[in-house]
């Protein structure tokens, strides 16, 4: 889907980027997509929420290890955008209240 994402950049104020925390083999590809999004001129003003999803599943790598592997602290420090990270399970609903709060706060701040 990556190639068609730019057609949705216009007027985007809140960006939710979902990573599969149960599958670290996708990490480098996800990271490349994330960096492309963060460097897009049209998304410079957007607030970004990075979601590590599927945290209900067992994984040989912890979310902290994945963040470190993708150098997320450096990405956050260098990005123009305000970036927040959360751990969720869409299946079990874990962490989804936090996502809704973030959306409310982001909407309030930008209107
Ligand atoms: N266990 C679990 N499954 C989830 C969660 N969120 C989505 N799914 C399931 O993940 C499946 C879709 O997988 P995705 O990773 O979104 O899509 P995909 O990459 O094309 O599929 P995979 O090859 O299975 O990774 C669906 O069956 C969803 O029900 C979650 O938080 N926990
Ligand atoms: Mg997947």
Q: Whose CA is nearest to atom 14 of ligand 1?
A: 20
Give domain 2-110's CATH superfamily: P-loop containing nucleotide triphosphate hydrolases (3.40.50.300)
DSSP conformation class of 13: -
Please give the radius of gyration of the chain, using alpha carbons only, rounded to the nearest integer: 14
Phi, psi (5° rounding) for residue 87? -110, 130
Report pLDDT for 110: 84
Rounded to 5 degrees, what are φ and ψ at 27? -60, -45
Q: Which ligand is nearest to the CA of 1?
A: 1
- H-type helices in 1-111, by residue range? 27-38, 63-69, 72-78, 96-110
**Mutation to probe ligand 1, out of 56, 58, 90, 94 (largest number of atoms < 8 A from CB):** 90
Per-residue pLDDT at 1: 76
Domain spans in the chain, listed from the N-terminal domain onward: 2-110
Residue-level pLDDT at 3 = 83
Give mean pLDDT in consecutive 10-residue pieces for the chain, a chain of 111 residues: 88 96 97 96 97 98 98 98 98 98 94 79
């Amino acid at each position: 889907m990556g190639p068609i994402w730019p057609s949705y950049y216009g007027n985007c104020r809140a960006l939710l980027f979902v990573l599969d925390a149960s599958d670290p083999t996708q990490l480098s590809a996800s990271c490349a997509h994330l960096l492309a999004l963060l460097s897009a001129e049209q998304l410079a003003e957007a607030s970004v929420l990075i979601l590590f999803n599927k945290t209900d599943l067992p994984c040989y790598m912890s979310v902290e290890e994945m963040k470190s592997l993708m150098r997320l602290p450096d990405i956050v420090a260098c990005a123009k955008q305000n970036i927040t990270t959360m751990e969720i399970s869409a299946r079990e609903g874990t962490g989804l209240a936090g996502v809704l709060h973030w959306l409310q706060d982001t909407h309030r701040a930008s209107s």
